[in-house]
């Protein structure tokens, strides 16, 4: 992964408890999200970070905010959304004898590469189901028309022939609309 954002920690490297404040804008690449869906990041993104020397390494805390575009999972229209999220990560030196916890990152020298932290944070905060609106009607299953903008005259009652025996059983044994048997 190409390095996008590095922080020089040399001013606080030998000073436990000291903090570096970072505030500004950052340009991020587009991401491939869950299920290989393209996540277009609208640049720049706002970034506020505090990098603190915690004696055994460095703790990064802060927040980032920006807009992104994805395709609606129902109607395939582009949807622009805004994300504001917290960032928290720990970095340990590569030669550290301390026990590394899940999620801790390793650093070498006098720089923390925050690229993975920033992109991972965004990827984890994007909703699994992306909709243009909660009541999106999606596409017609027959003709593919966007049902949010147009109506079609297609017959929507598509019967699955694999369920024919179940339908026959329901007609013979009964079963009202309330789910109870007619017997």
Question: What's the number of domains the chain is made of?
Answer: 1
Asked whether 140 and 147 are in contact (CB, 8 A), the reply is yes
Instruction: State the Cα–Cα distance between residues 40 and 70, nearest whole angstrom.
Output: 6
Q: Which segments within the chain are labelled E, that is strand? A: 6-8, 19-26, 31-32, 38-53, 58-71, 78-93, 105-107, 111-113
Q: Tell me the per-residue pLDDT of 12-49, one tens digit each, with 9 for 90 and over.
A: 988 999 999 999 999 998 887 556 667 899 999 999 99
In a domain, 107, yes or no: yes
Please report the DSSP string for 152-174 in residue order. ---------GGGHHHHHHHHHH-
Element (H, E) at 123: helix 115-125
Return the minimum-mean-pLDDT range out of 77-91, 131-145, 159-173.
159-173
In a domain, 98, yes or no: yes
In a domain, 102, yes or no: yes
pTM of the model as a whole: 0.73
In a domain, 115, yes or no: yes
Asked whether 35 and 28 are in contact (CB, 8 A), the reply is no
In a domain, 161, yes or no: no
Residue 11 belongs to what domain range?
6-125
In a domain, 42, yes or no: yes
Q: Tell me the per-residue pLDDT of 108-165, one tens digit each, with 9 for 90 and over.
A: 889 999 999 999 999 899 888 899 999 999 999 889 999 999 998 887 666 778 888 8
DSSP code, position 181: -
**94 contact partners, CB below 8 Å, separation of at least 6:** 106, 107, 108
In a domain, 142, yes or no: no
In a domain, 15, yes or no: yes
Instruction: State the Cα–Cα distance between residues 47 and 24, nearest whole angstrom.
Output: 5
């Amino acid at each position: 992964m190409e390095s996008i954002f590095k922080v020089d920690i040399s001013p606080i490297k030998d000073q436990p408890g000291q903090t570096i404040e970072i505030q500004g804008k950052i340009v991020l690449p587009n991401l491939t999200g869950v299920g290989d869906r393209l996540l277009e990041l609208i640049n720049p993104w706002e970034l506020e970070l505090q990098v603190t020397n915690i004696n055994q390494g460095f703790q990064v805390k802060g927040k980032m905010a920006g807009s992104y575009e994805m395709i609606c999972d129902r109607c395939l229209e582009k949807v622009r959304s805004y994300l504001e999220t917290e960032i928290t990560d720990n970095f340990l030196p590569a030669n550290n004898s301390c026990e590394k916890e899940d999620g801790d990152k390793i650093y070498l020298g006098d720089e923390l590469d925050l690229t993975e932290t920033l992109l991972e944070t965004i990827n984890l905060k994007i909703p699994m189901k992306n909709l243009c609106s909660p009541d999106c009607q999606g596409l017609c299953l027959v003709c593919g028309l966007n049902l949010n903008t147009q109506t079609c005259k297609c017959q929507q009652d598509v019967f699955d022939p694999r369920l024919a025996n179940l339908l026959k059983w329901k007609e013979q044994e009964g079963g009202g609309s309330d789910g109870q048997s007619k017997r």
